[in-house]
Amino acid sequence: MGELDALGKVDPELAEALKKEIIRQRETLEMIPSENFASIDVIRTLGSPLTNKYSEGYPGKRYYGGNEFIDIVENLAIDRAKRLFGVPHANVQPYSGSPANFAIYAALCKPGDTIMGLNLPDGGHLTHGWKTSVTGQFFNSVPYHVKPDGYIDIDEVRTLAGENRPKLIWIGATAYTRELPFEEFAKIADETGAYLIADISHIAGLVAGGAHKSPVPYAHVIMTTTHKTLRGPRGAMIMVTERGMKKDPELAEKIDKTIFPGLQGGPHDNTTAALALALLEASRPEFREYSAQVVRNSKALGDELAKRGFRLVTGGTDNHMLLVDLTKYGHGMGIYAQEALDMAGIVLNKNTIPAEPWTAFYPSGIRLGTPALTTRGMKENEMREIANYIADVVEQINGYKMLADKDLRNAELARFRNEIKQNATVLGTKAKTLALCSRFPLYPEIVL
C-alpha cells in the first residue's frame, strides 16, 4: 500500500500520525477485549469510493438515484448476516452500537417505561440504563447485579423482573467473563412479558464461530457491533429472530423504521461493504478455528495469571476476556497497572470489579482479552509468556497508593509516572514484547 506515501505529500502531519499509530499497533500487545485487527481486505474496502454515495432508505426503496450497485452491496451484507447467525431479519445500517441500542429502545419503548440491564460497575454497558446515559434518564432503569463470585445473580433478575414488569430486558455485558445465560433470561422474559434483547457486541465472533452459545433461540432482538470479535469495520447490526417475529409480527418493520427515518440519515456504504466482506470471512472454516483459539488463549492466559497469584473475577473465563482483581495491591490500583503495562508495550484497560471499593475512574481491576493477539497468530505458549510479562510488570506497582485527597493523589501518580519510566523490569519487558511482536508481523502489506 503506497497510500501513506501519497498522503505524506499532501498532509505530512496527518501521514506521520497514521504511521506512528500503525507502528504502535505493530509493536505492542493489543489486549483490550473490545479491539481487534480487521483484515487488510476489510480495511481496503472500507477506504473505497463507496464513501461518496448517499443511500437513504433501503435496497429497492431509496430516496436518491444511482443506488443500483449499493443495493447489491447492502443485500450481500444482509443475506450474509442472516445466514451466519440464523435469523430471518437483519438491519446492517446502524452507525455504531450505542445508537443501535437507542434505536431498539425507540422501536419498543416509550419514555418512562421500565427497563433492566446489568449494572455498569458490575460489567454492564452505559446504554443498558446507566444513570449518566440518556437511556437511564429517558427510561425507568432497574439494574441487576452480579453475585460476590462475579456471576450474574439470576435470582435477583427474576425477582426484579417480577416486581417491576419491565418492557425490555438486556442480556449482554462489556466486562463479563462467563457464558451468558440466555435460556434463563428467556424464561424470565416470558414470565413477565418483556422483550429480551441480547447485546452480543463482545462475543458476536465467538457466536458466529461456534465458540459461545447463540442467543438466537432465546432473544427477540439481537444487537452487535461489528468490529470486536467479528473482526469487521466499526459499525453495528440489529437482528430480529423467529422468536421476536412470533412475539410481534411487525417487529422487523418497527426496527427498520426507527433506524431510518427515525434516527439516522444515509448509511455509510463503505462500512456496509466492509461488513459484507467481514461476514464472508466469518463464514469460513478458518474463522471457526480462530474463534475456538481465542477462547483457548483466554483460558491459558488466565491459568498462568492465577499461577502467579492474581485473583480472576469468577475464577476464570468462558470467552475472550479476563477481569483481574488487583485489591491485593490496594484499592483503585487499576490505573497504575494500566499505565505500567502500557510503558511495557502491553495495552489493556483499567476496569471496575464487582462491588468496586473505589471509583469507576480509579477502579481496582484490569480487563484484558485475546482477540487481537489471536488474530496475529499467537497461541497458548505465547499467552503463558505474556501472562508472565504482565505479572512481572504489575508487581512493580506494589508500594504505590491510591489516595483520597486529590492533591496527594496527583502527587503520588506523578511520582509513579516518573519512576515507572526508569523501572528496569518495565524496560526489560518492553524489549521482550517488542521481540514477541516481531515474530507475529501485523499488516506487512502496509509499507511505511
Please identify every residue annotated as catalytic: 54, 56, 199, 225, 228, 234
- Give the side-chain half-sphere CA count within 13 A for 336: 28
| Contact yes or no for 360/120 (Cβ under 8 A) | yes
Q: For the CA atoms of the chain, what is the radius of gyration?
A: 22
Q: Taking Cα atoms as reference points, which of 300, 352, 301 lies closest to residue 327? A: 352
The closest alpha carbon to 39, from 329, 328, 350, 276, belongs to 276
The whole-angstrom separation of Cα 272 and Cα 94 is 10
CA distance 116 to 126: 12
Task: State the Cα–Cα distance between residues 67 and 90, nearest whole angstrom.
Answer: 20
How far apart, in Å, are the Cα atoms of 9 and each of 13, 20, 80, 445?
10, 16, 39, 20
Q: Which residues contact 92 (CB under 8 A, 6 or more apart)?
A: 74, 77, 78, 81, 235, 237, 267, 272, 275
Residue 323: which residues within 8 A CB-CB, separation 6 or more? 123, 150, 175, 177, 312, 313, 314, 351, 353, 365, 366, 367
Q: How far apart are CA 296 and CA 287, in angstroms?
A: 14
